[in-house]
Every structure is written in structure tokens, then in C-alpha cells.
Structure 1
């Protein structure tokens, strides 16, 4: 059961982030004016964004500050709404394959693989559905609310809960195989990094600014590293949460923290190869030898993967609450709080395209598979787009 102190703590900090750091227009709770978002920037259109299909898949995530990102597995895309609806669609046409209502609040998802569709709930449950027909296969309790998408590989489901516990479950029946725990700071952002699995190793980031690697089968810790070290006199200043998903590229692992650093790590040892000051809670993408990240102020930057040096920065989206970026061909795409999808050149960061997807806003990072971009809006609209 979720510790009520932790829940209150998370809710308070989430409100601070929502009103102050994300820069939405209006007044904050103490009467001070919040930072105004930049107006839509002018640009010379070089590409057109075409809608292939769109489909309503429930009530979305509204103003809950969740990141319920769809996932593509095989020829299907799976999406979940906060109200409990999980939908499977053809990734090519948007035709519905199945839909189920779990009648519970979904806060973490969606994960898919090995025939499973996985979501986490507010009351600390992990639910596994069949990819084929949506039938519930099992439900397993974990230690607290799940805000990150559960992951599965080699018969093990990995769950990272909001109380900084990392749990391995048997993919057949949800039985607990192992559990690891990291000491949590007094205050954290309301968010959890989604673990990544590669070659039998689980890579995870935590709210204390650490990155850790574990064996997938046993949960034995292989190494730990500091992404960021807390600094400052107050607990708010000392927050260095790693909420973004780790990015794996060849023999390196890249991670970014809030009020801390973006770092390049050696995958085998956790040795820090380079570190650059940054502040972000959105996941990164890569291309052309660069990392692309959207920071807490919605400045998009390209960072050289070898050295950590800044290649370019695009500041025209400041305080527009950009989603995490996704690479598409030679472009980077990201959504904003007004529901626009922006297209940026990977070469120099110039804006080359834009389209309005949905006025409810785009918080979840776009999903790119082959020649399609999938955008899930806060209001529950799932849209497939392509760029020409």
C-alpha cells in the first residue's frame, strides 16, 4: 500500500512542477504569476505532416500529469487511458482489434512483448493482458503505485514502483522473483523512470540521482553510478530525480536528471564517460551521432554522444511544456501543451514543420516505428502521422 506521506509529497511537488516549471499560463497557488509560454514560433515550412488515421481510445490522461505512452508490438499498437481502458489497434490502419475496461485507475503503461500487454495501477497492481484478445492473464500486487510502463524480456516482467523499488515478476503468472530497493529522498518529482532491458541486464534510474544495473534473472546488482549529486540548502533545490527512460546505444548508456546532468555511461561498468549540466524529466532520443533532449524549460538541444558537447539548441519552444522528443528520419518531433506536433531538423535545430493534432495537449512522447509517428493526446486521441 502506498505510504500516504509519500503520496502527499508527490502531489505537492507535482503541483509545483505543473505550475512553475512547466510554465503554463495563469497564477500559481500562492498568487504569483506563472511563466508565460512562448507564442508559436514562425518558421519556413519545409515538410508537411500528413494524418494517416486517428482513433479515440478512452478519456486519455487529462490533467493527471501521467505519461501513458502507447507501444507498438508486431502489427498492433496498444494504448491505455487513465480511467482503465486498454485498446489494441492495427498500427497500419487504426482498426480496433479489441478493447477492455479494467475498471481501475491506470497510472503506468503501456508495456508489451512476449504475448503480453502490461499496465500498472494507482493501487499498486500490475495487470497482464493477452496481446491477441485482451484477456486478463494475471494480476500481481507490488509495493506501491506504478507510474512507469512495466517491461518484459526473457520471461521476466520488470516493474519500477513509485517507492523506489524495482521488482522482477514471472511473466507466466506474476509471481515475484526478486526485489531491490533504493533509499528515497524526502522530496521527489511525481514520476518514475521506465527501466530498460538489454542482453539480460536491467538499467534503471532513481529519484536519488543514481543509475543502477541489475541481472534480469536474479536481481543481483551489477553496478551503480551517480547521474547527479544533490546540491542546495532546501529539499526542493536538492531534487535530482532521474525520471527519464535510460537510452541504450551500442556499448553506452545515456541518462538525464532533473536539476542535475545528462551523462554518458559505460554499459558494462557504469563508469561516467562524460557529464554535462542539464535539467530534464523527459526521455531522450538519438540520431546523427547526437542525443536530443527537451529540458525542463522546453529548450530542445542536440548533445554529441561521444563528448557531451552541445551541437545546437532550439529555444523557440521555451515553456511550451514539450514532450520528450522522438527521432523520425532526419528530423526530431515533439508535442506541446496546446496539441501541436513540431518538426525540427536534426542537422541544425531549425523548425521545418508543424501540425495541430488535438487541443487537449500532448504530454506523452511520440512513438516512431518505421515510417509512422504515433501521437497520443491528453484527451485520449491516438493519431498516426507521417512526414513528406
Structure 2
């Protein structure tokens, strides 16, 4: 078996191994009951909602929203890709990709990119197919589109760059000496100023988007454990920005950390064995551990602000910070709104199902995708 085949096989194995470990308990923990809430002045208002068809998740791959230039792009289970106006929910364009998808969707407001079950990268210009390219490895992280380039990260952590106009392959990067076992979960691919930022195991690497050469390479955490599964510590996407120069990210089952990318140094790291991405603002970083205990830390120092265990085993999504509130969606479809200052629950509202992706905040509007295929645009009063 070749090294590339072995790495792909091991990355697929990791998901199975983790699911097996999760299922080892004799009984599944009971979700914490919903707390009784008194009347609150906080209201969750639906600006618009749109059914698009069920979003894919789990074995078919995760879904993500691409939001740029007032356009939100999303894809569903059957391979439909559509763009919506963020302010109104009006459909701008829709197309059928031609196959079921494993990674979707990346976009910059004009161009959109997906990867299908045949490992074909497909790129569209305002809803019109312009090119496709067969990829050498499985992809479940949504492509990242920026600067007229498409960046694709495979489950073996390799990153490839293409010209968005004609599909010309530009470069490939993979950090040498990486672990053979990789997490079969969406990784980190994003941008800080003019630098492409990617996860490579438990390291955050900044690449020149033109040449693919490293500009910085930062350790987020040191994996621990007695076997390869226990030592898995890949960075979980999406990453989030705190202050202008600070990026905060989760290392799978290891820690939450913030780095100052302008200085190339780690600001702080705190142990938390979680599996979902974190959220951040200029003052606060919020994340849940594997049992859905929510913690908040000061963004500048990592000092604990509050910790709540009212949502244990409710299957929380990645959170989002909206001004002085924190929101998260549970498996039953309840959107919980907390006070950022102390973690008090202010209100909650029931949507049609649990989250299919991390919530995205755009100009105080919260974009939520549910497993039943609804995109909600919500605002807090």
C-alpha cells in the first residue's frame, strides 16, 4: 500500500474509531432537561427563512456556509448549490452540481466551489459551471475561495491551490513529518490579511497564497495519549478571529488556544476536550467540551469568565458571539441565547431541527442551517 493510500485509509479509520469509542458506554447519557425561563425582554426575530432540501452531514460530509459580499452560498444533500441574498433571503441562483457532495461550500460572493463523491472539485461563476478537476484524495473540508484562487484541503492535510478562472493547478503543500492518522472532520482553511491559514495536525501554518511556502508555523498544543487515536489533535474548523491580529481555534480533544499571528506566537492555551469549533469576539472566546459544558475565556488573557453545565449532552453546535450575547443550537433544534457577561440563559427559541453547521454572524444577523434543510436569518432585539 502506498503512503498516500495508507494516510487516506487511516484518516477514514479515525472517524470509525472515534465513533466506536463514543458508543462503548452501556447507555447514552441523558440530555440535561431544559431549564425553566422567566419572561425575558430578549426576543429572537426571524428576518427570513428558506427551505433548500436536507443538508448533508455525518457520513456524507459536513456542510458549511460561505458568506461574502452580501451573498450566502449553501449546498444540500442532492448536490443543489444555491446563493441567497443575506439581507432578504432572495434566491440569486441555483444549480445542480451533478453528484452528491462531500465538501461544500466555499465561495467569495461570485465564485463557488464544491467537491463531490467522485473527488471532483467543481467551480461555478455566478451559478454557471466553469471547470472541474479530479483530486487525488478525499476532501470533506469546504474549499476556500479568495483572491481568484481555490484552496482545497484533503483529509491527509495536503493543501492544493488552483486558479479560479481556468482551473490551473498552482501548488501543493503538506507539512513534512505529520502524523499518519488524521481526523476525518472539517479542518482549518481560512485567511488572515494576505496569508492563507491552514491546520496541519495541532499546528497552525500560514502560507503565501501565491507560492504555497510557509510564512509562519505555530504549535497550538502538544498531543497526548497512548495510541494514535488518543493523540489526534487536528485543528477543528472554522477558525475565528478575536482581535485584529488574533486567531482562536480548537485542537480536537485537546485544547482551545489563541495566537497572535502578527508576532508568530501563542497568546494562551487552555485545556478543553471538545470536538466543536469555538467562537470569539474582541473580548471573549467561547467553546463547549465533549459533554457540552460551555466555557468562556477572556480573549486577551485566557482567564476564565464563566462556565455552565446546564446543556450537558444536549449536542450543542459550535457557538457564536453576537454583541453581548452568545448563541448555540442543540440537537433538538433549540437555539439558546446566553448573556456574554455571565452565561445566564436569556431566552431560547425552537427551530425545525438541530444545526447542520456552525452559526455565522453577519452584521448582527445570525445565519443558521438546520439538518432539515432550512436556512434561518435571525436577529436579537
TM-score, with normalisation over the residues of structure 2?
Answer: 0.90
Q: Distance in 2 between matches of 1:371 and 1:2?
A: 46
Aligned partner (choices 137, 156, 165) of residue 163 of structure 1: 156
2:59 is the counterpart of 1:53: no
How far residue 19 of structure 1 moved from its aligned partner, in angstroms, is 6.9
How far residue 284 of structure 1 moved from its aligned partner, in angstroms, is 2.2
Distance change in 2, residues 1:319/1:212 (3 Å):
same
What are the within-5 Å matches in structure 2 for residues 10-159 of structure 1?
10-15=11-16, 17-18=18-19, 21=22, 28=23, 32-46=26-40, 47-61=42-56, 63-64=58-59, 66-113=61-108, 115-131=110-126, 134-159=127-152
Q: Distance in 2 between matches of 1:270 and 1:116?
A: 31
Q: Distance in 1 between matches of 2:371 and 2:82?
A: 16
How far residue 204 of structure 1 moved from its aligned partner, in angstroms, is 1.2
Q: Distance in 2 between matches of 1:277 and 1:43?
A: 31
Q: Distance in 1 between matches of 2:60 and 2:368?
A: 16
Partner of 1:365: 358
Unaligned runs of 5+ in 2: none
Q: Distance in 1 between matches of 2:229 and 2:318?
A: 23
How far residue 110 of structure 1 moved from its aligned partner, in angstroms, is 1.9
Distance change in 2, residues 1:250/1:89 (3 Å):
closer
Q: Distance in 2 between matches of 1:274 and 1:124?
A: 37
Aligned partner (choices 332, 335, 338) of residue 344 of structure 1: 338
How far residue 86 of structure 1 moved from its aligned partner, in angstroms, is 0.6
Q: Does the aligned pair in 1 maintain the 2:142–2:186 contact within 8 Å?
A: no
Please give the secondary structure, in 2, of the residue aligned with 1:61.
coil
Q: Distance in 2 between matches of 1:383 and 1:35?
A: 30
Unaligned runs of 5+ in 1: 22-27
Aligned partner (choices 158, 163, 167) of residue 174 of structure 1: 167
Tell me how many residue pairs correspond in the alignment. 377
Deviation beyond 6 Å, 4+ runs, structure 1: 1-4
Question: How much is the aligned-residue C-alpha RMSD, in angstroms?
Answer: 2.4
Q: Distance in 1 between matches of 2:182 and 2:215?
A: 25
Please give the secondary structure, in 2, of the residue aligned with 1:385.
strand
Q: Does the aligned pair in 1 maintain the 2:60–2:102 contact within 8 Å?
A: no
Q: Distance in 2 between matches of 1:114 and 1:335?
A: 26
Please give the secondary structure, in 1, of the residue aligned with 2:15.
helix
